[in-house]
Amino acid sequence: MSVESKGGRPSKGKREPVNFWLKPAIKHAAVDKAAALGMTLTDYMAQLVVQDTGLTSDEPQEGLPFANVA
């Protein structure tokens, strides 16, 4: 018996959950900015951390590359 793919987007690889609380205004600003960039909130937050810490990622993030943000 073969397993048929259910479709959907491809995996981004191994990820770990992060849970934290933000003031509503900060959360809404982040959601709005991520949407404007065509990114998920998770990808947007990850890009901010990568930029701030100097880390590099060997896994491409979906959405607009952060380097293109004005």
32 within a domain of the structure (yes/no):
yes
pLDDT of 13: 81
**Domain interval for residue 35:** 24-68
Report the number of distinct structural domains present in the chain.
1
Q: Is the pLDDT of residue 63 over 70?
A: no
Q: What is the pLDDT of residue 25?
A: 98
Higher-scoring residue by pLDDT: 49, 9: 49
What's residue 10's pLDDT? 82
Which residues neighbour 47 within 8 Å (Cβ) at sequence distance 6 or greater? 39, 61, 66
Grade residue 21 by pLDDT with cuts at 50, 70 and 90. very high
15 within a domain of the structure (yes/no): no
**Is residue 4 domain-resident?**
no
Residue scoring higher pLDDT (66 or 15): 15
In a domain, 16, yes or no: no
Residue 38 in domain: yes
Residue 20: the pLDDT is 92
Structural domain includes residue 55:
yes
Domain assignment present for residue 1? The answer is: no
Asked, for residue 58, whether it belongs to a domain, the answer is yes
